[in-house]
Amino acid sequence: MGLWVGVTCLLIASVWILKERMGLIIAVWLSVTVSGGYWEWHDYLNVTSLPSSLQQDEIKLEGMLVEATGTMITAVVVDGDRADLEVRLSGVNQSSVSEKVLVQVKLQTKEQKLEAGQWQRGDLLKLSGTLEKPGIARNFDGFDYRNYLRTKDIHWIMKVQGIPNIEVTPPSSWSMISIFRMNDLLRETLAIKMTQLFQEPHDGYMKGLVIGMQDDVDTFTYGQFSQLGLTHILAVSGTHVAVYIACLMLLLSLFRFTRETKFTLIILLIPIYVLLTGFSPSVVRAGIMSMITLYTARQGLLKDGLHIISAAALIMLVWNPYLLLNVSFQLSFIVTLGLLIYVPLLLPMLSKLPRKFAIALGVTVVAQLISFPLTIYYFNQFSLLSIIANLILVPIISSVTMPLGMFTLVVGAAWTSGARGIAMGVEWLNNITFALVEWMNSYEAFIMIWRSPSILWIGSYYIVLYLLLYFIRAWVHNRQPLPVPIDDTMPLEGVKRVGKPHLELRRKEGLKWKQMIIAPLIILFAILLYIGYQPNSLSGAGTVQFLDVGQGDSILITTPEGKNILVDGGGTVNFRKAEESWRTRKEPFEVGAKVVVPLLKKRGIHHLDAVVLTHGDQDHAGGLQAVLNQIPVKAFLFNGTTSGKTGIDQLLTTAITKGIPVYAIHQDMFLQTDRYSEITFLSPEMTGDEQANLPLVKEQNHSSIAFVLTMNGVRLLFTGDMDIASENIILEDESNLSMRLQGVDVIKIAHHGSKTSTSEDWLRAWKASAAVISAGVKNLYGHPNHDVVMRIKEQDMHIFRTDQQGEIQMKVYENKVWVRNKLE
């Protein structure tokens, strides 16, 4: 509603200024009003029907065991020990319903995994499982899974334990879903053929490139392409559709079809390719635009690109308004629209270059400029080598690799050995591509981290960019000489031409203000980029952010002068045995890569001035591997011991390999972070010769780093997983007596509130007014311990818990702390 009011006010002002365009302005207002009303109506209807059908409120449905029947409406995705599928329920507990749910089947054996892989779209299901609401964002700026599933009209997850609790029956009659069922089978057949023709990792890469199946793309390869902004190559879109149409045009020309017949046949064949490549928003957009373009060309009608892209957007958004929130939809349409509007502005500046190269360069530069705001909004990083990578690799991949991949697939249908020979040539080309991508990514200094900008910043960026290119084009156009017309008559024989044989005419200077405005626009554009790159201003305050990483610790400290310190990185604990390797997923959830790193990037943390690993347990150290791999780090501080586990050794090796200074911390050490902040380390004790090899300490909790952070006059105590014995050592140490007498304002409770820490003497000694407990929701250990919680309450401390409140942020002003938490 607020957006509609703002647009209305803007259009009223436009009517006052542009009275002669009143009809257009009214049409725009009506379009915005109708579109907004349609969105609100669609969103209003998007509610769950289960509570009313079962006559239960949503709270009671949570965790309820139900018996349900339904139809499988998507292809099953089997990954490790879990099978995911979307089901349209027709009945629950003998009550008639119509509800779309996500079913997650926990597979218990290898045989069950193979059986689940045989399920197909359209199968009829009887299943028994528990209902759960999808998870919500537990960190500020975090991914909200519940909202994401709601845009797919899914409000519940049904969890099924093992295949014995699900009965699958093939459909007995034909329906519309049968078309998609056959399409799934055809896609799977093509994928199998790709695996036969191409070796790893080329098979997964070619599946993504040719038929849009990205699930099998090698994780390392995908990550390398992502850093250079090349993942659009693997998302079937306009380029793929253009190659497909070009191949069809060539094929149909061999049969001497007329122009109109070729266009008609291709229009009929485009939907087949759209279905075959996965029906993603980008390929649907390209398919619809291509069909409209071919139809208008056949009929000799209007072929304006803006009208065509608007028609495609209207068709898709009427079908599903939530596509407006889809990243693929946004990037596909905004880049295509940008090419239509901005390329004509840029090309005159490249007029001295060969035309084909100028067009390729113009398209590449504009695509990067237009996609840049959305790229940093969603992915929070941008490589300065992206333009060069796209300029070099996209033509090769789209003009050679992709057509050869399609050709290999066609030949492979009849002649496998011959197709394998072609595939070897494609693999050779792929190896060159992979090597170039890896070489470009080796220059980490070119990878910039950006915080997610505001919508206002994005809008300002596009407006200023348009004005800048518009006025530069006008300036370039004004400097070019006018063409001299060819003489209409020949001079008389024997009479020489008077004056210069060639006269150079230039346009009248005029409108110098267009030239004068270029410099201010360049400055304004630079200021916009500078503002977008900088982290949010703290206005002299410091922050301490206790991230919700489940059962683990991860704390981001930002000092008043902008120094960033990360204390621990959480970690995913894996109790799986070697013989259960089949349960491992292609890309296992790792809290560092999936939670910590994305949050750091989204908040514009360009680098970390220090990473503090309190001790070597997995739930503190595991996530730091992803941090060191993706975020520049200036110093690595740890407790000076090793647990003997692979993870901690790999972490230290990574730090040393990257040239990060590594410091072993012990009591009485001191770190001055900036003028307003300092850290005093209380533990662990200094052990032995500092030059000796790292001592092996399997039980790491006792050796945890503990320190007091003093920031803007506020004191916070951080304790890692220290036990009561290490607490007593600190309490008996006379060197920190004055510090204990001063007390602290906030204490981070050790070991997630375990009963092995946080004695009554410890709490009394520090006299804190608030305590923070970092623990996972319904964790296996029962943290925090009830007795510990009661002990803290007896000291009249206010308790903040990540398992109940999500992320906890403390903004530290001069001698005062402002606290907010994600889950109110």
pLDDT in tens, 87-109: 999 999 988 999 999 999 999 99
Percent of the chain having pLDDT more than 70?
91
What are 315's two structure tokens?
């068709």
- Count of CB atoms situated within 10 Å of the CB of 648: 25
**pLDDT tens column, 328-377:** 999 999 999 999 999 999 998 888 888 888 988 999 899 999 999 999 99
Task: Indicate the residue type of 705.
Answer: I
Percent of the chain having pLDDT more than 90?
61
Residue 176: is its pLDDT beyond 90?
Answer: no
DSSP 320-358: -GGGGG-HHHHHHHHHHHHHHHHHHHHGGGGTTS-HHHH
Q: Report the C-alpha gap between 747 and 719 in whole angstroms.
A: 8
Task: Indicate the residue type of 773.
Answer: I
Residue 538: is its pLDDT beyond 70?
Answer: yes
What torsion, rounded to 10 degrees, do the Cα atoms 790, 792, 793, 797 define? Answer: -170
Q: Report the C-alpha gap between 50 and 69 in whole angstroms.
A: 13
Assigned CATH class of 542-574+586-821: alpha beta
Task: Indicate the residue type of 147.
Answer: N
What pLDDT is attached to residue 704? 95
Q: Could you tell me the residue ranges of all domains in the chain? A: 2-45, 52-173, 179-452, 453-484+505-534, 542-574+586-821
Q: Mean pLDDT throughout 161-183?
A: 91
Cα→Cα distances 465→153, 339, 765, Å: 37, 13, 60
Domains 52-173 and 542-574+586-821 equal at CATH topology level: no
Cα→Cα distances 42→4, 28, 584, Å: 17, 21, 39
- Count of CB atoms situated within 10 Å of the CB of 150: 17
What pLDDT is attached to residue 9? 61
**pLDDT tens column, 686-733:** 765 555 578 888 889 999 999 999 999 999 999 999 999 999 999 998
What pLDDT is attached to residue 217? 84
Cα→Cα distances 312→308, 333, 361, Å: 6, 9, 27
Q: Report the C-alpha gap between 642 and 695 in whole angstroms.
A: 6
Half-sphere exposure of 632 (CA within 13 A, CB side): 14
Place of tokens 């004509």: 344
Q: Mean pLDDT throughout 584-608?
A: 92
What torsion, rounded to 10 degrees, do the Cα atoms 691, 694, 700, 703 define? Answer: 0
**pLDDT tens column, 1-50:** 555 555 556 556 555 555 556 666 677 767 778 888 899 999 999 999 99
Q: Of 342-351, 542-551, 553-562, where does mean pLDDT reach its minimum?
A: 342-351
**pLDDT tens column, 113-137:** 999 999 999 999 999 999 999 999 9
Is the link from the previous residue into 201 a cis peptide, with omega within 30 of 0? yes
What pLDDT is attached to residue 514? 67
| CA 628 and chain centroid, separation | 19
Strands 481-482 and 505-506: antiparallel
The answer to whether 47 touches 100, Cβ cutoff 8 Å, is: no
Q: Report the C-alpha gap between 122 and 174 in whole angstroms.
A: 10
> In which band, very low, low, confident or very high, does the pLDDT at 761 lie, cut at 50, 70 and 90?
very high
**pLDDT tens column, 49-70:** 999 888 888 888 999 999 999 9
Residue 546: is its pLDDT beyond 60?
Answer: yes
What pLDDT is attached to residue 504? 52
Q: Report the C-alpha gap between 185 and 362 in whole angstroms.
A: 41
Question: Which DSSP helix (H) or strand (E) runs through 449?
Answer: strand 447-449
> In which band, very low, low, confident or very high, does the pLDDT at 247 lie, cut at 50, 70 and 90?
confident
Residue 494: is its pLDDT beyond 50?
Answer: no
The 3-state DSSP class for residue 777 equals coil
**What residues contact 660, with CB distance under 8 A and at least 6 apart?**
628, 633, 634, 635, 636
What are 10's two structure tokens?
């803007």
**What residues contact 163, with CB distance under 8 A and at least 6 apart?**
105, 107, 108, 112, 115, 116
**pLDDT tens column, 216-234:** 888 888 888 888 888 887 7
What pLDDT is attached to residue 692? 57
At residue 367, what are phi and psi to the nearest 5 degrees? -60, -40
Q: Report the C-alpha gap between 254 and 256 in whole angstroms.
A: 5
Strand order in the sheet with 770-773: 670-674, 677-683, 706-711, 714-718, 746-748, 770-773, 798-801
The answer to whether 370 touches 333, Cβ cutoff 8 Å, is: no
Among candidate residues 72, 78, 67, the one with its CA nearest the CA of residue 106 = 78
Q: Report the C-alpha gap between 609 and 615 in whole angstroms.
A: 19
The answer to whether 660 touches 632, Cβ cutoff 8 Å, is: no
DSSP 69-98: EEEE-S--EEETTEEEEEEEEEEETTEEEE
What are 116's two structure tokens?
């689940």
- DSSP bridge partners of 158: 103, 131
Q: Report the C-alpha gap between 819 and 800 in whole angstroms.
A: 10
CA 190-194-198 angle, 5° bins = 175
Q: Mean pLDDT throughout 404-411?
A: 91
What pLDDT is attached to residue 323? 93
- DSSP bridge partners of 716: 709, 746
Residue 538 DSSP class: -
**What residues contact 361, with CB distance under 8 A and at least 6 apart?**
350, 353, 391
Residue 576: is its pLDDT beyond 80?
Answer: no
Among candidate residues 690, 720, 723, the one with its CA nearest the CA of residue 708 = 720
What are 367's two structure tokens?
């695509």
Q: Mean pLDDT throughout 801-806?
A: 96
What pLDDT is attached to residue 368? 92
- DSSP bridge partners of 708: 680, 717
Q: Mean pLDDT throughout 639-662?
A: 90
Q: For the chain, give the mean pLDDT.
A: 88
The answer to whether 569 touches 684, Cβ cutoff 8 Å, is: no
**pLDDT tens column, 415-463:** 889 999 999 999 999 999 999 999 998 888 899 999 999 999 999 999 9
Cα→Cα distances 586→81, 101, 220, 277, 576, Å: 11, 24, 12, 22, 15
Buried b (16+ CB within 10 A) or exposed e, 291-318: bbbbebebeeeeeeeeebbeebbeebbe
Sign of CA dihedral 89, 92, 96, 101: negative
Q: Of 290-304, 521-535, 623-637, 700-714, where does mean pLDDT reach its minimum?
A: 290-304
Q: Report the C-alpha gap between 758 and 766 in whole angstroms.
A: 11
Q: Which residue has the higher pLDDT, 674 or 483?
A: 674
Place of tokens 């068709």: 315
Q: Radius of gyration (Cα) for the chain, nearest Å?
A: 32
Name the CATH superfamily, with its identifier, for domain 52-173: Nucleic acid-binding proteins (2.40.50.140)
Q: Report the C-alpha gap between 523 and 314 in whole angstroms.
A: 37
